[in-house]
Structure 1
Amino acid sequence: MRLGRLTLAAAALLLVTTASVPSGTPLSQTERHAALSSDAVQPRGAAPRPVVQRAMHEVPFGAFVGSWDNYIPNIARMASWLNNANMQVGHTYLAGNGWQDIEGEPMVLGLWSQWRQSDPGRRLVLGVPMLVPNEGNVPDAEVARLLARGNQGEFDQHFLRLARKLVAFGGGDTVITLGWEMNGVTYTSRCKPDPAAWKAYWRRIVGVMRSVPGQRFSFDFTPTRGLDAIPWTRCYPGDDVVDIIGMDSYDQPAGGTFDEYVAEPYGLQDQVEFAAKRGKPVSYPEWGLFRNGDNPEFVRRMLEWMRTHDTAYQTVTDYCPHGFWQCKDNPRSATVYKQLMAGSSGAVGPVRTSPQSALR
């Protein structure tokens, strides 16, 4: 099967599974203050606050249109639907059923890398699980044991082989969303069972992959938006091993508003301020509709947000219920998305990362 050996429908079903505290869950001001002051994000109003607003600008963009190599032509088809917009970013995932998946199928890595190399302005974003099976309903205690094994070096060779393959195929500048949505409960590659071990394991993987000659990988720390199973700041592994601070942002919970998504604990405002204090850009590897149906206002506000902040790239999740081109359930949102993105020339130059990336 595709999408990490799963069907797109199965992936959508997995996204329906929510964390113990769903993204966007309203909290009282007292709860919000307690949550923020207990971690690395300061409560609102604390000084100094970084300047995060930017003038309106184009952002490198793309869409997740499917994981396997035969989905690559869908990028050009979607770009054509957008009046030949310059979709600069290709986004795919490694399957996480076993360690061989983490090492990457040569044909898949090769063809995606070939797509990236065909235009110097393009960038490949690759979701890489940290543990397997990544979607196996593994209990917390076993996740903690796996993290301990990882920190002993037991899984190093798999990430080393992946890095060597990417460099050999010309994908040495791939953006890697390592252990994405680590603050939730869906994936085995999650943080809550042992945050200290998770951070150490992230650092170890980055060190292994950066040891490969010729690599210029960028590592994107990508939690899901809001206070999920654990505050994502408790999972942050350090500025020296993170190049981009991402966030997966779907239109949920039911009844949620975009202003709430901005202001909620560990939401969009906290993300951009956290990143600005560290001199890092932000990203939105997954975003789209979800609990509130066909919602053009969310689409309009999300695109405006990304275009007025220091956004390295954005890739919409383009299948039902989230997307616009491959999903016919959201006609009003598709119209707005097309109006705002049609004919876009994209951004000038490659995806921007933090200064540490440029020095490697």
Structure 2
Amino acid sequence: MNSGSRKHLASVLASLVALAVLAVAPSASAQPLTGVYHGEVFSQPRAIDAYSEWLGYEVTLAQGHQDKDTWENIENPTWQLGAWSRWVKAKPGRRLNYSVSIFPEGQGSLAQCAQGQYDFRFRNLATHMVNAGLQRSIIRVGWEFSGFWMPWYAGNGQEANYAECFRRIVTAMRTSQPSAGFEFDWNPNYDISPAMMTATYPGNAYVDYIGFDLYDQGWQGRYPIPSTCTGQCRLDRWKLNWDVQFAPALTKFRDFAQARGKRLSVPEWGVNDPATTGGGDNTWFVQQMLAFIFNPANNVGYHSYFDWQAGDGHHQLSDVDANGGHTFQTEFPNAAALYKAHFAGTPPPPPGTVTTTRATVSPTTVTRGQSFQVAGSVTASSAMTVNVKYEIRSVTGSTLIVDRIYGNQAFTAGQTRSFNTPFTIGTDKPAGTYRVDTLVYSADWSKTLLYRNDTTFTVN
């Protein structure tokens, strides 16, 4: 999904059953590359660097999408290639994951492409990309072609034309720039039918990655989840939607790729807001996706999280704002905390164990020397005892100012506990921006179950 389109959707410690379904003989695949889409860097020059700061992990693969409006913006989008060139060249090892349009909307066809009428345009694109220093890019030719919303939709008898069109474009770009090291991703949506997969596949000689895009949406009443369905009820909905919609699709793609000796990719994936039939702050979905992606048996070459608030669905986990700062507050704090924990090398808790609401601060503008309240809640999906901690830190330097611990909190399965904590910031502290951090630890303090940066607030 890019910001102008939508696929019709749609554990690191996954259960043994889920792993058994997805497991195959081990392979020697390398660690998957981790990428992100967070807007185009011509309009957000700091976007990817700021995302890496938030994640605590250097992202070396960034995604860009071509427009679908003019041939000029396909052959030679100087405004776009120049900006991505600067990002790629800034540090060694960086690569562009580039979604390339087959033709402008309303100005072409798969049949014309299959006949070779556009070959010269993609030879031009290859040359312009090399001139911009974008060798080694991963190119998604006519991405999401199984979606009827795409101009190059490959259904309705266009399957063979798409396959030939893909071959023509790959050949044109390789012929134009044989030393560029471009890699090509054949990338439908997760729900493509097996018959369409076979009919549109261009052949092993033209494909480096077999990719699928997948977002957490659900149908047949599974999503959206009613507000009264919390704790174990919500976790059961998440699990059911995964088992019905997504686990079979992952098996389908894994088997298809292995039969052809190709690496898988997940060029776009993300949680999704309830307003667009999503599962919301779905930690189960994130755990299962990470489990699949980082299981060497599945031979995933790269994945790219879609960290963006699109018009047709919200997915952003990071705190990166439009200026490359860190003021954005995600709708999915628990999913964000779990995702960050993976890249920090911290194993996440067992699926669905603990979730928290975002802490609130009252009043929203705090006066030094005067008391204010921090409120939040914790839900445990199974019976357990945990320690809950709220910390006040300065945004500049993350210095700990004051904290409050609620020790040995015993939960029954599905129980939610609320916490209302008084704090005071001394007059010896500077005015400025502070934040609340929410932490949950195991009963013996040996494991951090959740560590989340929550609400920022102003102190006078």
Pair in the same fold by TM > 0.5: yes
Tell me, what secondary structure is at the counterpart of 1:120? coil
- Read off the aligned partner of 1:342 and give its amino acid letter: A
Q: 1:182-202: CA deviations, max 9, x gaps?
A: 111110122113111111111
Counterpart contact for 2:147–2:189, Cα < 8 Å: yes
Separation (CA, whole Å) in 2 of partners of 1:55 and 1:90: 25
Match of 1:273 in 2: 255
Counterpart contact for 2:141–2:184, Cα < 8 Å: yes
CA shift for structure 1 position 121: 2.4
Counterpart contact for 1:183–1:230, Cα < 8 Å: no
CA shift for structure 1 position 54: 5.7
Counterpart contact for 1:224–1:248, Cα < 8 Å: yes
- Read off the aligned partner of 1:314 and give its amino acid letter: H
Counterpart contact for 2:144–2:187, Cα < 8 Å: yes
Tell me, what secondary structure is at the counterpart of 2:176? coil
Match of 1:199 in 2: 163
Tell me, what secondary structure is at the counterpart of 2:317? coil
Q: Counterparts of 1:58-207 in structure 2 under 5 Å? A: 58-83=31-56, 85-133=57-105, 146-193=109-156, 194-207=158-171
CA shift for structure 1 position 56: 11
Say whether 1:324 aligns with 2:317.
yes
Structure ranking higher in strand proportion: 2
CA shift for structure 1 position 72: 4.1
Unaligned runs of 5+ in 1: 24-44, 345-360
Separation (CA, whole Å) in 1 of partners of 2:60 and 2:175: 27
Q: Counterparts of 1:225-304 in structure 2 under 5 Å? A: 225-227=190-192, 231-254=196-219, 255=222, 257-264=241-248, 267-290=249-272, 291-304=278-291
Tell me, what secondary structure is at the counterpart of 2:139? strand
Counterpart contact for 1:93–1:126, Cα < 8 Å: yes
| Shift in alpha-carbon separation, 1:72–1:285, aligned structure 2, 3 A | farther
Separation (CA, whole Å) in 2 of partners of 1:343 and 1:87: 15
Q: 1:302-353: CA deviations, max 9, x gaps?
A: 1111000211111100013122015621111111111112379xxxxxxxxx
CA shift for structure 1 position 58: 4.2
Say whether 1:212 aligns with 2:176.
yes
Percent of matched pairs sharing the same residue: 30
Structure ranking higher in helix proportion: 1
Unaligned runs of 5+ in 2: 11-20, 223-239, 273-277, 321-328, 347-460
| Shift in alpha-carbon separation, 1:51–1:212, aligned structure 2, 3 A | same
Separation (CA, whole Å) in 2 of partners of 1:248 and 1:52: 24
RMSD: 2.8
| Shift in alpha-carbon separation, 1:286–1:199, aligned structure 2, 3 A | same
Tell me, what secondary structure is at the counterpart of 2:52? helix
Say whether 1:314 aligns with 2:303.
yes
CA shift for structure 1 position 118: 3.2
Q: 1:128-157: CA deviations, max 9, x gaps?
A: 011211xxxx6xxx97xx122222332222
Tell me, what secondary structure is at the counterpart of 2:97? strand
Counterpart contact for 2:41–2:84, Cα < 8 Å: no
Counterpart contact for 2:126–2:173, Cα < 8 Å: yes
- Read off the aligned partner of 1:192 and give its amino acid letter: G
Separation (CA, whole Å) in 1 of partners of 2:271 and 2:114: 37
Counterpart contact for 1:191–1:198, Cα < 8 Å: yes
Tell me, what secondary structure is at the counterpart of 1:285? strand
Counterpart contact for 1:50–1:276, Cα < 8 Å: no
Counterpart contact for 1:220–1:242, Cα < 8 Å: yes
Greater displacement, 59-68 / 222-231: 222-231
CA shift for structure 1 position 69: 1.9
CA shift for structure 1 position 50: 9.7
CA shift for structure 1 position 120: 3.2
CA shift for structure 1 position 112: 1.0
CA shift for structure 1 position 268: 0.8
CA shift for structure 1 position 277: 1.8
| Shift in alpha-carbon separation, 1:285–1:52, aligned structure 2, 3 A | farther
Counterpart contact for 1:129–1:179, Cα < 8 Å: yes
CA shift for structure 1 position 104: 3.1
Greater displacement, 121-130 / 226-235: 226-235
CA shift for structure 1 position 229: 11
Separation (CA, whole Å) in 2 of partners of 1:78 and 1:96: 26
Aligned length: 295
Separation (CA, whole Å) in 1 of partners of 2:253 and 2:79: 36
Greater displacement, 254-263 / 244-253: 254-263
- Read off the aligned partner of 1:328 and give its amino acid letter: T
